[in-house]
Amino acid sequence: MNIKKTIAGIGALSVLISSGAFTAMNAFAADAAEYRTGKITAHLYSEEKLKDIECRYYNDMPNVPYIKLSDFYSCWISQNLEITNKNDGTYEVKVPIGVTGTIDVNKDTVSTDDLAGFCYPQYLIESGSSNVYTYIKEAEDTEDTEEKTSDTTDFSAYNIDLRGDENDIWWPVATLCDYYDCNLNQGALIDDTLYFFNYIIGDYSRETIGNSSAHKDNFTAKYENGRPKDLVEYNYNELCFNFDRTYGFPGRFIYNDLLAETNFDTMLSTASDNTKKIKQMLLSEDAHEYCAGYELLNNYFWDGGHTYFYATMIDEKTDFGNKVIDNIRAVGFPEDGIDYASIFSNSLTSGNAALDARNKMFETADTYEALKYSEYAVKGDTAVFSFLEFKEESDNWLSYYYKNGEMPQDLITEFYNCVTKANADPAIKNFVIDLGANGGGYVSIVEYMMGIISDLDKITVISGRGDESATIQYLVDKNLDKAYDEKDKAMKLDLDFGIITSNYSFSCGNLMPALARDAGIMLVGEKSGGGTCSTNRFVTPDGLVYALSTGIKFVDKGGTSIDNGIQPDYDIVKTDDDGIKDYSEVYNFSKLSALFTEFYGKKTEEAPSVTTTTTTTSATTTTTTTSASSTTTTETATASSTSSSSASTSSSTTPNADGTLPDTGNNSIGKAATAACAVLMIIAGGAMIFISRRNRNKEDNGIF
């Protein structure tokens, strides 16, 4: 996909400005204000690599740190800008790739004729020659390669001041982090420290640092007695700016059209008495009321987990948390809001029911393997491959492809080995990919798996606010030999494929069934949980984490939204009067085998024989023999003790000790086809279980 074309859709989100929503400030006058100097420590993509940066606290904004654009940029991508002061309040800024932009500190605007070239790292813009591809590679695309998107971002509309001196431009730190942002290079100001991260979610990310217990303690201690007025106003204005620039309008939101026609601030200010109250709470100097208002945003923007607002301080075990809960309870459930707790509860019920039925089915298997990221079981003519999230070891794949590193032993290699092993076994005719307890992850893994099972080499998206779809073409290194060649094209599997879905199957767990339906692959189970937008994580200036559905939406091959989920060919989940779901018919080897026969008919018998070409990778899994049933199986681990990868977050989707899905944490990251870098890296992972613990706390405390 061409980055210049795609960024145009995102760019459209950045120019929507409220009519009179904010009071503009004279930036030039502010430049002359006195200030005190200080320093901010930057963590350069690790806890060990540190750099001290000069900062300023202007007298009119004494609680909002400013740093120089050049300092931020050199930390962000280890390259330098060329900044020329035109001595009229404007500065010409040239990025390493040669693209220029103009920053006007009088008008507080940033203008460029090439938005992608100006905002994104050089290595991503020149990704065709950079080491960014692994098992998925962007197909050659020479069409409209010279197309560029002009853009002017008006920060004055959000009362955000840019300030200049003789040689540089001083920005609020949080604004820099939001303006210069891509999936592999992210900044965040947390507890007066500037962090840089390589991935949206991981052990070291905006989300993990922003949701850490240390940050919660720092936040509550800092604001227990009130929030300073200048930070309150800037915090709200920055949230408005980033929301207007980023949000992708998935469509579930009751005031979606109003928001699309105006902006975040106007929507809150006019939609209803409840939204007006939330705006008032977001602008409160009382930290408890502020956190409550922040949390209440979920009642409007909940879309399954791609958009959420996480006030980590909501904890009934602390005085601060109880005060926040009291403020939420005082507002009550808004009649124009979304009962996201009930939606989530239904999804979690499906996921746990599917997990339980799957484990019982595996006890009947002829052979069973519990691998690091997945499980594989076979009985009769049917094999089942199960996993909880589309997760890969990103750093290890980059090392394997470009630094002669060892091939990673992760979900990708486990899938390859299992599907090729099944294909080589003449007794196995059917291969099931089980997404019944899957909440999302890396889109690149979906693309890889679909490439293996159906030769899929493209994906359809809608960019920005329009409804015009675009097809992204890519290549798949099916045999993982680091070459995209005829061997990949020749690889064909003589298997029928099916996919199990549930209402828990979200984001990538929803995208794969959509792609499979378009490819004529059988779907079994329950309607999937939806999720159509790419997503990203951000941090407010005062340190609260939030996620937004962004301006890339996945659609089916006809351009129709898949946000409401995919209906399976065989919806055979039973639900009793108490809402208890029975997946026993779905997770049943004999039933699955019969459904394959019914769905595909005599295709295997009537079709000409298929020449199968596979290559055995070195990605084998060491197993030991155990007996999970009366039949010999392999591997000692069970479903309830599957280990997570070294790259997993503290809130992975490894099942709980009792075999159920965890009720807290985010189980998804993901990448593939991003508008930010045109290297097939869109984030599309769900947050289905991210705030469930607080949902339960609220219900237990009678908040709803």
Task: From 347, 305, 192, select the one nearest 533 (Cα to Cα).
Answer: 305
Helix residue spans in 130-199 (DSSP H): 173-179
Judged against a pLDDT cut of 70, whether residue 344 lies above it is answered with yes
Q: Please return the burial class of 74, using the count of CB atoms within 10 Å of its CB with bins 0-12, 13-18 and 19+.
A: middle
The residue type found at 158 is: Y
Each residue's pLDDT tens digit, 191-249: 999 999 998 877 899 999 999 999 999 999 999 999 999 999 999 999 999 999 999 88
| pLDDT of 631 higher than 80 | no
Question: Does residue 605 surpass a pLDDT of 70?
Answer: no
Average pLDDT rounded to a whole number, residues 471-476: 90
Low-confidence winner among 100-104, 155-159, 314-318, 594-598 (lowest mean pLDDT): 314-318
**Radius of gyration of the chain, Cα coordinates, nearest whole angstrom:** 26
Average pLDDT for 627-648: 28
Per-residue pLDDT, averaged over 138-161, amounts to 80
Q: Please classify residue 519 by burial: count the beta carbons closer than 10 Å to its beta carbon, then call 0-12 exposed, 13-18 middle and 19+ buried.
A: middle
Which amino acid does the sequence have at 298?
N
State the Cα angle at 487 between 484 and 489, rounded to 5°: 80
Query: Using 50, 70 and 90 to split pLDDT, how confident is the model at 686?
Result: very low
Q: CB-based contacts of 355: which residues, under 8 Å, 6+ apart?
A: 436, 437, 639, 655, 659, 660, 661
**Cα distances (Å, whole numbers) of residue 18 to 146, 157, 268:** 32, 7, 12
Sequence-separated (6 or more) residues with CB below 8 Å from residue 520 = none
Mention every residue, 6+ apart, whose C-beta is less than 8 A from residue 59.
33, 34, 35, 36
What are the DSSP calls for 373-387, one per residue? S-EEEEETTEEEEE-
pLDDT for the residue 693 = 27
The DSSP annotation for 5-30 comes to HHHHHHHGGGS---SS-S----HHHH
Token representation of residue 340: 């996201």
Instruction: Give the pLDDT of residue 242.
Output: 97
Distance CA 497, CA 520 (A): 10
Please give the Cα distance from 386 to 639 (Å, whole number).
10
CA distance 283 to 275: 13
Mean pLDDT score across all residues of the chain = 82
Q: What is the pLDDT of residues 366-400, one digit of tens each?
A: 999 999 999 999 999 999 999 999 999 988 999 99
Categorize the per-residue pLDDT at 442 as very low, low, confident or very high, splitting at 50, 70 and 90: confident
Residue 690 has pLDDT above 60, yes or no: no
Return the pLDDT at 616.
40
The contacts of residue 205 (CB under 8 Å, 6+ apart) are: 186, 197, 199, 537, 649
Read off the pLDDT band of 697 (50, 70, 90): very low
Contact 188, 177 (CB under 8 A): yes
Residue 643's pLDDT band (cuts 50, 70, 90): very low
Q: What is the pTM assigned to this prediction?
A: 0.81
φ/ψ region of 503 (left if φ > 0, alpha if ψ in -120 to 50, else beta) reads: alpha
β-bridge mates for residue 611, sequence order: none
**Could you tell me which residues are beta bridge partners of residue 470?**
461
Amino acid at 253: F
State how beta strands 570-571 and 522-525 pair: parallel
Q: Are 303 and 533 in contact (CB under 8 A)?
A: yes
How far apart (Å, rounded) are the C-alpha atoms in residues 466 and 472? 17
Match 């009321």 to its residue by tokens: 289
Q: Are 433 and 497 in contact (CB under 8 A)?
A: yes
Nearest to 564 by CA among 248, 252, 247, 249: 252
Partner residues linked to 232 by β-bridges:
none
Q: 3-class DSSP state for residue 563?
A: coil
Instruction: Find the farthest-apart pair of alpha carbons in the chain and give their distance in angstroms, rounded.
Output: 83
pLDDT of residue 10: 37
Check pLDDT > 80 for residue 308.
Answer: yes
Label residue 665 exposed, middle or buried (CB < 10 Å: 0-12, 13-18, 19+): buried
**DSSP string across 293-357:** HHHHTHHHH-SSSSSEEE-TT--TTSHHHHHHHHHHHHH---TTS--HHHHHHHHHHHHHHHHHH
Give start and end residues of each alpha helix (H) in 180-262. 206-210, 213-223, 229-246, 256-261
CA distances from 106 to 57, 155, 374, 475 (A): 19, 11, 56, 47
Of 16-25, 225-234, 423-432, the poorest mean pLDDT is in 16-25
> Quick one: pLDDT at residue 71?
98
Residue 634 phi, psi dihedral angles, 5° rounding: -125, 155
What is the dihedral sign for C-alpha 26, 29, 31, 35?
A: negative
Distance CA 308, CA 696 (A): 16
Q: First CA to last CA across the chain, in angstroms?
A: 45
Sign of CA dihedral 659, 660, 664, 666: positive
- Evaluate whether 422 touches 431 at the Cβ level (below 8 Å): yes
The token pair at 128 is 């065709």
| Distance, CA of 113 to CA of 399 (rounded, Å) | 36
Contact criterion met (CB below 8 Å) for 683 and 394:
no
Q: For residues 280 and 297, what is the distance between their CA atoms, to the nearest angstrom?
A: 12
C-beta of residue 666 within 8 angstroms of C-beta of residue 689: yes
Tell me which of 557 and 641 has the higher pLDDT: 557
* Residue 193 β-bridge partners: 190
Flag whether pLDDT at 447 surpasses 70. yes
Nearest to 634 by CA among 624, 643, 642, 644: 624
Q: Is 118 exposed, middle or buried (0-12, 13-18, 19+ CB in 10 A)?
A: buried
H or E element: which one contains 445?
Answer: helix 443-454
Q: What is the mean pLDDT of residues 418-423?
A: 98
| In CATH, 341-530+565-641+648-700 is 3.90.226.10 | yes
